[in-house]
Structure 1
Amino acid sequence: MRKRIIEYGIFIPMLLALASCGGRLAPDPDYPEPMTFAPFLPGAPGRATATSFEDGDEIGIFAVSHDAHGMPRRLEISGNWANNSKAVNDGGEWTVSPPVYWHEDDIFDIYSYYPYASDVRSIENFRFELESDQRGKGLTLSDFLWAKTSSACREAGTVPLHFTHRLSRLDINLVKGPDYEGDLPSDAIVKVHGTVPVALVNLETGDVEKDPESPVGTVIACCNAPGSYSAIVVPQKILNQIPLVEVIVDDVSYLLSSKFIFGSGMRHSLDIVLSDNPDKVLISIGGGVIDWN
């Protein structure tokens, strides 16, 4: 049972805090009012392969109440007002289990993330591992999103959750060189090598870094269209020239080496100019780094 300590000496400051949300009388305690949420994806093109959440998508929700002085409490692994409740998209509506209820005129900070994980063992270092094969649903399941809404109150109604991308996206474009004959391959396999595929996320701040104890690995990029591929990468710096991208076409392997800096919430692009001679493949990093949010 939760206990509330009422300090009469702070009655006036509490009234001022509630006034900012336009406080009102509490509902009948026998019929508590559930919080409702409106999750929004980052700006176009949205989540890795979509512009809106889809039926069956799941997010995690934490709710932290403000203290008697109107100050937000820290997000903890347990003991919050809500601890990793799961919200499921049911064709546009979100079902939250267990439900999160408002309490009188309390004010809350709401934290949320995608995709949902049932086993959250740390707030400061939540471990998130990419899908090694990002074709199909693997790309979106690797796209870690995070949101925070501060000072949510009951009178404001549905709580908006504006998500941001916390990892990096690498777009790889295959370009025909002057001596490359035929059309661009529709069945090429593109791999990203030499990056650590495990992230440590601070669920309170949204900060992310690679797991220093995890080895480097390989991810298979998703094909968007012939000649266009994308992969989600954990933010990290590759300061040495290493084999980074491999393109396999008709059993011929084009292996490209490069240094690279993957930024959190950033979208990077590589243009790979194909040649009939694998030794003459060119790589261009010129196009870009853009804000993915």
Structure 2
Amino acid sequence: MLRKLYTLSLIILIAFAACNKEDDKLHNQEGMAVSFNSSIFEGAQTRVIGANWENGDKIGVFAIESGSTLQEGTIVENYDNFSFSTTGNGVFTHDDQPIYYPEDDSAIDFISYYPYSADITAYNYPVDVAQQVDLMYSNNLKNATSDNTTNTLEFNRALSKLIINVVPKGNGSLKGLTVEINGIKTEATFSLADGVLNIDDTSTGKLIITPSGTETKKVVNAILLPTTEGNSIEVVFKANDVDVYKWTVPHALEQGNRYSYNIRLGDLSSEVTPATNYMEIPHYTAGDSAPHSFKAVHMVGSTSWLNGYTGPQDQPIRNYTVMYDTLHSVPYWIAFPLHPIYMDSGNRTNEWTFDPIIPQRYQPNVVNSGWVSGPYDRGHMLASADRSATRDINRTTFYVSNIVPQNSNMNSGTWNELENKTRNWALDAKYDTLYVVTGSILYPEDQFKITTDIDGKEIAVPEYMYKALLKQDKTTKEWHSIAFNMENIASGPSYKEYVLSVAELEELTGFTFFPNLADGEVVKKQKSLEHWK
């Protein structure tokens, strides 16, 4: 799970297995064969990100002399573009000849890429955007020997990705929708020796894409070559070959980045808004942003904040995002990924302070004491234990933008039970990252409830508190969702009494949850606890 978190990271662990010397034509004595196992950290949605390897996916691997550049004279033991494949479970094994560490135990470097191609000339990978191949590259694993027990190949996207989520305005239909992308460069070569992408500037053309989805929601996924200028790529939406709307991408496409937009497509006018690149960030259903709101994205300050993190050290890692109601001084929602790297035992700080991003005038002054009136705790939306890996990351949960006035009995009872279960679900190795949105629903205006802070500032008391959850099975690739909505009172005996579907929660809140989820309409109707035990 991170150059923006829409930048991809795949983590490959090198494991070793003994090989019989009689079967080894390249070695005179028994050696250690190299195999690959993939694991998930980040869940951005492209074909091979996360656990989404498919049966038959192949990576190409080169083994070269340590400290050298990939070229004919530096290849070790003829380990030149060897293919490794997976059955879809993330474990890679060699297809033909295995790779062994040298008999003299000298160090070697690995270079790898996805997807495998047998037609590599001069260590250049040909790129044609018409093929829509999401090329990945890794050259980080250096000075490797058979003594190493944990080696990682860190893959990064070599091109750019544009995602457009399309819905019709009103009761319209997207039947027959196609998309034409104009003004793009179509061909390039990618150097596997140094990771440089060389674009053919004479290869200007267009790309025709048929979006996936239903008549009420479609998704455009386009792998494109990076650009240096904004407003250079035009996207034309067509219904039955008739132009409906034209839109120009307002920015350059940087190499390795993913860009997401939402569009409401109408006959006379259309609306395009940037979409989050993070799976967990909700979208305000009625427009660009919720009324009187302020969004703050909190990032992890350092990888030292995390527990057992082995991913890229030079890419930003998200902590959580808050959509804050500046009128009522409570969060609309807090959205965050939940994964073992964020958690450990202990490390609670109780160091209450103001959120450094949101203007202090909008936040309640409950830094040194709690609410002045009512049976309310400073109830965390992102629980302290959800960010317990270190004291550094735990401090960020004690920003007063991360709390609501929460009934004390609820906070220590049923809500606490749900928080504990949520962490248990995040620790289940069967699934990838758990995506969580925790939010509040205020009372109707004629029943509005308030409390105050030490300065007398009025703070809204939520009528309900909710969680929307989403996870993906690593093996089956199936998505599972569930939601819970609890009244902010001394709650009942079990969180199971408050189950509803994410789709139902969307109707109650006015937010679209997990908007980047493919086939979201089906997944978000799930209401069973079968996968949430």
- TM-score relative to the length of structure 1: 0.71
Distance in 2 (alpha carbons) for counterparts of 1:211 and 1:163: 24
- C-alpha distance 58-209 of structure 1, shift in aligned 2 (>3 A): same
Distance in 1 (alpha carbons) for counterparts of 2:241 and 2:46: 32
Q: Is the 8 Å Cα contact of residues 256 and 283 (structure 1) preserved in structure 2?
A: no
1:73 equivalent in structure 2: 68
2:491 equivalent in structure 1: none
State the 1:282 CA deviation: 4.3
1:154 equivalent in structure 2: 146
Q: Secondary structure at the match of 2:134?
A: coil
* Gap regions ≥5 residues in structure 1: 1-26, 67-71, 133-138
Matched, 1:246 2:241: no
Distance in 2 (alpha carbons) for counterparts of 1:245 and 1:223: 16
Matched, 1:57 2:57: yes
Q: Is the 8 Å Cα contact of residues 36 and 93 (structure 2) preserved in structure 1?
A: no
1:228 equivalent in structure 2: 219
2:466 equivalent in structure 1: none
Which aligned pairs between 1:102-181 and structure 2 lie closer than 5 A?
102-103=101-102, 104-123=104-123, 125-132=124-131, 142-148=133-139, 149-157=141-149, 159-176=151-168, 180-181=169-170
1:273 equivalent in structure 2: 264
| Residue of 92, 95, 99 corresponding to 1:94 | 92
Q: Is the 8 Å Cα contact of residues 161 and 221 (structure 2) preserved in structure 1?
A: yes
Distance in 2 (alpha carbons) for counterparts of 1:35 and 1:49: 21
- C-alpha distance 146-175 of structure 1, shift in aligned 2 (>3 A): same
Distance in 2 (alpha carbons) for counterparts of 1:209 and 1:108: 27
Aligned residues: 246
- C-alpha distance 87-150 of structure 1, shift in aligned 2 (>3 A): same
Going by fraction, where is helix more abundant, 1 or 2?
Answer: 2
- C-alpha distance 161-219 of structure 1, shift in aligned 2 (>3 A): farther
State the 1:107 CA deviation: 0.8
| Residue of 58, 83, 86 corresponding to 2:80 | 83
Q: Is the 8 Å Cα contact of residues 185 and 204 (structure 2) preserved in structure 1?
A: yes
- C-alpha distance 78-197 of structure 1, shift in aligned 2 (>3 A): farther
Q: Secondary structure at the match of 2:34?
A: coil
- C-alpha distance 207-187 of structure 1, shift in aligned 2 (>3 A): same
2:186 equivalent in structure 1: 197
- TM-score relative to the length of structure 2: 0.41
Q: 1:101 corresponds to which letter in structure 2? A: Y
Q: Secondary structure at the match of 1:173?
A: strand
Q: Secondary structure at the match of 2:264?
A: strand
Q: Secondary structure at the match of 1:131?
A: helix
Distance in 2 (alpha carbons) for counterparts of 1:77 and 1:270: 44
Distance in 2 (alpha carbons) for counterparts of 1:264 and 1:292: 16
- C-alpha distance 153-241 of structure 1, shift in aligned 2 (>3 A): closer
* Gap regions ≥5 residues in structure 2: 1-19, 22-27, 279-314, 318-533
- C-alpha distance 42-216 of structure 1, shift in aligned 2 (>3 A): farther
State the 1:220 CA deviation: 1.3
State the 1:169 CA deviation: 1.0
Distance in 1 (alpha carbons) for counterparts of 2:41 and 2:254: 16
Distance in 2 (alpha carbons) for counterparts of 1:111 and 1:117: 14
- C-alpha distance 84-46 of structure 1, shift in aligned 2 (>3 A): farther
Q: Secondary structure at the match of 1:117?
A: coil
Higher Rg: 2
Q: Secondary structure at the match of 1:150?
A: coil
